[in-house]
């Protein structure tokens, strides 16, 4: 997942209005730590060692969390592999080569 995040940062694909669905850890009223899933918007992205940390804010409310890039489930409702295909990036983070254009040849 880190190579996808790096490729998206290099192409300026991750905006602050991108909806991120991710798993995060929270405590309930008895103090038990549970893993939950929710929708967030991106506040900031920073690198910690060899891992990317996303600072996210809940869409409803002002709760902010820091999650690792590997906890991301979906971006704008699509799996990350599908999300980067829209921007001509392979799932391994490299750029796709565009094929031949189809249609009529231009007149000279």
| pLDDT, greater one: 1 or 84 | 84
DSSP letters spanning 18-70: -EEEEEEEEE-TTS-EEEEEEEEEEEEEEEETTEEEEEEEESSS--EEEEEGG
Per-residue model confidence as pLDDT tens digits over 15-49: 888 899 999 998 889 999 999 999 999 998 888 88
Confidence band of 1 (pLDDT split at 50, 70, 90) = low
Per-residue model confidence as pLDDT tens digits over 66-97: 999 888 999 998 998 888 888 888 877 777 77
What are the structural domains of the chain? 2-26+33-85 (2.30.30)
What pLDDT is recorded for position 32?
95
Dihedral sign of CA atoms 36, 71, 79, 44 in order: positive
**Alpha carbon of residue 93 to chain centroid:** 13
Q: Which two tokens stand for residue 61?
A: 């409310």
pTM, two decimals, is 0.76
For residues 52, 69, 81, 60, the Cα torsion angle rounded to the nearest 10 degrees is -120
Torsions phi, psi of 106, nearest 5?
-70, 145
Q: CA–CA separation, 59 vs 43, rounded Å?
A: 11
Secondary structure of residue 59 in the 3-state scheme: coil
């Amino acid at each position: 997942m880190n190579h996808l995040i790096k490729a998206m940062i290099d192409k300026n694909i991750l905006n602050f209005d991108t909806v991120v669905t991710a798993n995060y850890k929270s405590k309930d009223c008895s103090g038990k730590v549970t893993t939950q899933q929710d929708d967030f918007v991106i506040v900031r992205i920073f690198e910690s060692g060899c891992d990317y940390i996303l600072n996210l804010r809940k869409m409803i409310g002002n709760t902010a969390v820091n999650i690792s890039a590997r906890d991301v489930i979906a971006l704008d409702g699509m799996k990350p592999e599908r999300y980067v295909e829209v921007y001509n990036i392979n799932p391994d983070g490299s750029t796709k080569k565009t094929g031949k254009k189809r249609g009529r040849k231009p007149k000279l």
